[in-house]
């Protein structure tokens, strides 16, 4: 009881930095007005306030319900890392290295930054392959890495057992920092720039007028404001509910453990690198002559489902040593010296996690000028400087400095806020931090949230399921009842390779059906809709009724907000189909650019989408409809309402994402089963195919993919999609495209095939492009082309191979620059000769689409 409470308080005092005399405590009043109100005095909130002030926005109030760093910041382990999956995320993480020395000089405060590097070890061949692949990607993103032998791992970390290791990775830029020290330094830096920090102030309501933030109500008075930033950490979800409309911030707290030892008899070197043994799910760092060791257990313990208790400041949770044992066993295995160490404390502190384990950043879809920086999922300390940096630019300039669409809060859907969904997913997502990340790996918890009306039929047909945005989607189909549907991770030839190859070839030679119901579908209608859509779309959508247009919707930098197909269905109405993961984002982006006379309706759940693709698709469909489907009556790029089976009104759109003759059928849900069964009842019968085949088919055809070749910083010129831009009209992003066309491109998407196939080392995306023996970009997509018989991918070629990594010199990446060079693709450290092209390798003239 009391002794345990006293121990926790002593530990809190040890971890927490001294309180700042310069932090302005509540003095009885809050200001009537502030340009920005930041809620949350942890390391994220202090970083956002500091960086906003750094950009000149000094009229800021930061409100903290308790004390600065008193939530989850103070008990964080303080690990610093930069190895990330995307270039933008890597840039964000690297920013800490630039900020720390400047912040310490500016504030006179020590952040306890130790630039000690990190050793990551691999127990298995697959983990070593992962480290090799990650090392290649990291170097393409500008991060220095070095692969290690087991002996070299031991030399870097002599307290470690290494007889069971395959090898490891050395990343010199890694280290550790004092969480509270960093938080307090950011707080002081913010105060020095004019930010007012007020502790012991609770926000009771966020006020909204005309869908825009207008103020906050606190227990100490109201504050009018133009911008509100929710940095409330594990309280962010509850805070999001204190506005009308509610802001959806799906995160859930979980127990998170580490152990702190007393100093070893022979004190641990202060600059001992951080050790990560992800196969053992543990990390280890030096702490006061001893060690701090923690981890991410495979099955976590979610807590606070009904909200965080109040008050909860500088508090820990009761220890569950039985639950912690799985990690403790691995720590003793990897660091035998721990067996003789005296344990100071087993720390069990809450951390909050999002459903996909990625942060929630950006402007809330529900309320304008309501920004969120939360859900850092146990990576809050290392990401805090970068999050503050990008959020400040997002708030001031309207966008982050680089692409972070995977972290954008606009990816959130309603089901993410479901309590049971959050709880069940949190059980899994914590451990996924250190789970070996195989290509195409899926979450196994909180599944079957949304199912197509065809789900049971496809399941009986042998579908192996994946999920996106809550939608269950067939990845591939088994070829016999005895074949397992279970996903088995690998970096080489997967067990589904032959099944997908058969689906791929069936689509090329016969006909396949794909269930594409998950794609987001919207109707926009009303007076002025044509003018609005013309401004939103880079391509010309003022076309005849029944015509389909492929287009991007761009931002003012010329980058993609989304890519979509737009069908004009009436003089004042359009039907828009967008990527599945973009459903929330695109609804917000489109609606915020529409006048009040135009309405947007989400019709995603009204239609089942059956894509009928392949050279026999016309023969197949002609068996089930009387509508003529020949080129004269139904040319490519046309959409019509036709009868199929007993369904009286199916929208058939002749378009293709696989490079073959085909139609997408938008079937009202109540008719979906009948239409599907009718397709399989004639002389010409289709094959079922899944999204893995769809990916290999579209990559062979060099069709670009949202989240791969297309993102918020990539323009149509860079993506090679200039054909989908009409400069004769005005649209968002046009001026940026005109400037880029005049100045020349600094990067460009190209298509690559490997001159040889290594089934143990396949393309998955993220591999480094080696141009003339130097890194010159990275692959954004990678797969096996079953029609061309070789691995194929697409990637962004940049100018670094001509100027050198880290150079600021700009090189024009022209057609000649790309084609007149020698290429290899680096897969897991092995260089494979590659052939480059700017044209599709399969049917470059698209004759098969128009057949």
pLDDT at 623 > cutoff 60:
yes
Mean pLDDT of 259-275: 96
Sign of the CA dihedral running 155, 157, 163, 165 = negative
Chain center to CA of 178: 27
**pLDDT tens-digit series, residues 556-599:** 999 999 999 999 999 999 999 999 999 999 999 999 999 999 99
Six-digit token pair at 377?
Answer: 């999922």
- The DSSP letter of residue 262 is P
The pLDDT of residue 310: 83
User: Band of the pLDDT at 61, cuts 50, 70, 90?
Assistant: very high
pLDDT at 619 > cutoff 90:
yes
Q: Which distant-in-sequence residues (6+ apart) come within 8 Å of 305 by Cβ?
A: 252, 419, 422, 423
**pLDDT tens-digit series, residues 457-510:** 999 999 999 999 999 999 999 999 889 999 999 999 999 999 999 999 999 999
**pLDDT tens-digit series, residues 541-565:** 999 999 999 999 999 999 999 999 9
Mean pLDDT of 167-188: 98
Integer CA distances (angstroms), 574 to 527, 561, 571, 729, 794, in order: 12, 19, 8, 18, 31
pLDDT at 16 > cutoff 60:
no
According to DSSP, the residues that pair with 752 across neighbouring strands are: 793, 836
Closest C-alpha among 379, 404, 394, 367 to residue 249: 367
More confident residue, 7 or 344: 344
What rounded mean pLDDT belongs to the chain? 95
First to last CA, the chain: 79
Exposure on the CB side of residue 461, measured as CA atoms within 13 A: 22
Mean pLDDT of 715-742: 98
**pLDDT tens-digit series, residues 20-56:** 444 554 456 899 999 999 999 999 999 999 999 999 9
Instruction: Give the integer Cα–Cα distance in Å for 602 and 584.
Output: 10
Closest C-alpha among 787, 788, 844, 849 to residue 506: 787
**pLDDT tens-digit series, residues 274-301:** 999 999 999 999 999 999 999 999 999 9
Six-digit token pair at 742?
Answer: 């005049």
Q: Which distant-in-sequence residues (6+ apart) come within 8 Å of 648 by Cβ?
A: 671
**pLDDT tens-digit series, residues 194-206:** 999 999 999 999 9
**pLDDT tens-digit series, residues 746-779:** 999 999 999 988 999 999 999 999 999 999 999 9
Instruction: Give the integer Cα–Cα distance in Å for 686 and 665.
Output: 14
Chain center to CA of 345: 35
Six-digit token pair at 510?
Answer: 């016969």
Integer CA distances (angstroms), 770 to 48, 102, 708, 795, in order: 38, 35, 19, 11
The pLDDT of residue 297: 97
User: Band of the pLDDT at 18, cuts 50, 70, 90?
Assistant: very low
Least confident span in 19-23, 674-678, 786-790: 19-23
Integer CA distances (angstroms), 192 to 21, 107, 302, in order: 12, 8, 39
């Amino acid at each position: 009881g009391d002794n345990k409470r006293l121990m926790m308080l002593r530990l809190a005092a040890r971890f927490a930095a001294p309180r700042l005399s310069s932090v302005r405590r509540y003095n009885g009043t809050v200001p009537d007005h502030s340009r920005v109100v930041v809620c949350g005095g942890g390391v994220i909130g202090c970083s956002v306030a500091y960086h906003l002030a750094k950009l000149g926005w000094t009229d800021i109030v930061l409100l903290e319900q308790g004390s600065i760093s008193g939530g989850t910041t103070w008990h964080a382990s303080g690990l610093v890392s930069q190895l990330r999956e995307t270039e933008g995320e890597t840039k964000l993480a690297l920013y800490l290295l630039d900020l720390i020395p400047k912040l310490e000089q500016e504030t006179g405060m020590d952040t306890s930054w130790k630039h000690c590097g990190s050793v990551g070890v691999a127990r298995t061949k697959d983990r070593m392959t992962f480290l090799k692949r990650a090392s290649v990607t990291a170097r393409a993103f500008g991060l220095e890495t070095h692969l290690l032998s087991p002996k070299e791992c031991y030399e870097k970390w002599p307290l470690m057992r290494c007889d069971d290791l395959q090898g490891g990775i050395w990343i010199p830029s890694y280290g550790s920092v004092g969480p509270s020290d960093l938080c307090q330094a950011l707080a002081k830096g913010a105060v020095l720039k004019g930010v007012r920090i007020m502790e012991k102030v609770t926000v009771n309501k966020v006020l909204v007028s005309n869908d825009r933030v207008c103020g906050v109500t606190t227990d100490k008075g109201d504050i009018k404001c133009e911008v509100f930033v929710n940095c409330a950490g594990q309280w962010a979800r509850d805070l999001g509910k204190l506005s009308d409309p509610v802001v959806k911030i799906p995160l859930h707290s979980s127990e998170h453990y580490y152990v702190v030892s007393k100093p070893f008899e022979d004190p641990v070197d202060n600059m001992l690198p951080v050790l990560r043994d992800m196969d053992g799910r543990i990390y280890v760092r030096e702490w006061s002559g001893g060690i701090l060791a923690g981890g991410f257990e495979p099955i976590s313990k979610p807590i606070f489902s009904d909200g965080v208790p109040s008050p909860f400041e500088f508090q820990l949770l009761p220890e569950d040593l039985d639950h912690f044992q799985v990690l403790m066993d691995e720590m003793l295995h990897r660091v035998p010296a721990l067996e003789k160490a005296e344990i100071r404390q087993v720390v069990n502190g809450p951390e909050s996690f999002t459903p996909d384990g990625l942060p929630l950043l950006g402007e809330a879809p529900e309320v304008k000028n309501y920004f969120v920086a939360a859900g850092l999922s146990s990576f809050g300390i290392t990401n805090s400087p970068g999050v503050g940096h990008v959020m400040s630019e997002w708030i001031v300039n309207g966008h982050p400095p680089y692409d972070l669409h995977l972290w954008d809060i606009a990816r959130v859907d309603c089901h993410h806020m479901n309590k049971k969904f959050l709880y069940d997913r949190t059980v899994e997502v914590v451990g996924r931090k250190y789970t070996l990340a195989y290509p195409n790996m899926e979450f196994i918890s909180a599944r079957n949230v949304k199912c197509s009306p065809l789900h049971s039929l496809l399941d009986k047909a042998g579908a192996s399921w994946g999920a996106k945005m809550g939608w269950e989607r067939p990845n591939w189909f088994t070829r016999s009842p005895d074949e397992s549907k279970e996903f088995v991770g690998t970096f080489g030839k997967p067990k589904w390779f032959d099944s997908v190859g058969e689906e791929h070839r069936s689509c090329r030679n016969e006909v396949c059906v794909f269930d594409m119901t998950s794609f987001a579908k919207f109707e926009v209608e009303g007076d002025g809709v044509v003018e609005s859509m013309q401004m939103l779309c880079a391509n010309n959508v003022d076309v005849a009724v029944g015509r389909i247009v492929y287009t991007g919707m761009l931002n003012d930098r010329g980058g993609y907000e989304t890519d979509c197909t737009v069908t004009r269905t009436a003089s004042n109405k359009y039907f828009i189909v967008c990527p599945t993961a973009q459903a929330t984002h695109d609804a917000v982006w489109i609606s915020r650019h529409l006048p009040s006379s135009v309405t947007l309706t989400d019709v995603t759940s009204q239609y089942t989408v059956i894509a009928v693709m392949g050279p026999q698709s016309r023969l197949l469909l002609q068996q089930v409809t009387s509508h003529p489907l020949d080129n004269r009556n139904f040319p490519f790029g046309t959409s019509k309402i036709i009868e199929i089976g007993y369904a009286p009104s199916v929208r058939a759109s002749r378009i293709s994402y696989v490079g073959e003759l085909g139609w997408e059928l938008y079937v009202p849900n109540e008719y979906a089963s009948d239409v599907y069964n009718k397709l399989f009842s004639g002389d010409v019968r289709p094959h079922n195919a899944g999204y893995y085949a769809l990916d290999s088919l579209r990559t062979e055809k060099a069709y670009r993919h949202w989240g791969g070749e297309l993102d918020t910083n990539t323009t149509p010129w860079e993506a090679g999609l200039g054909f989908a831009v009409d400069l004769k009209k005005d649209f968002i992003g046009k001026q940026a495209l005109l400037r880029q066309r005049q100045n020349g491109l600094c990067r460009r998407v190209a298509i690559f095939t490997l001159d040889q196939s290594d089934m143990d080392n396949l393309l998955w995306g993220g591999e480094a492009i080696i141009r003339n023996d130097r890194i010159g970009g990275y692959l954004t997509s990678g797969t096996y082309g079953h029609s061309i018989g070789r691995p194929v991918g697409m990637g962004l070629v940049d100018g670094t191979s001509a100027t050198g990594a880290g150079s600021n010199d700009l090189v024009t990446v022209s057609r000649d620059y790309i084609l007149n060079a020698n290429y290899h693709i680096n897969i897991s450290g092995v260089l494979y000769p590659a052939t480059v092209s700017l044209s599709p390798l399969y049917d470059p003239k698209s004759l098969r689409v128009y057949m």
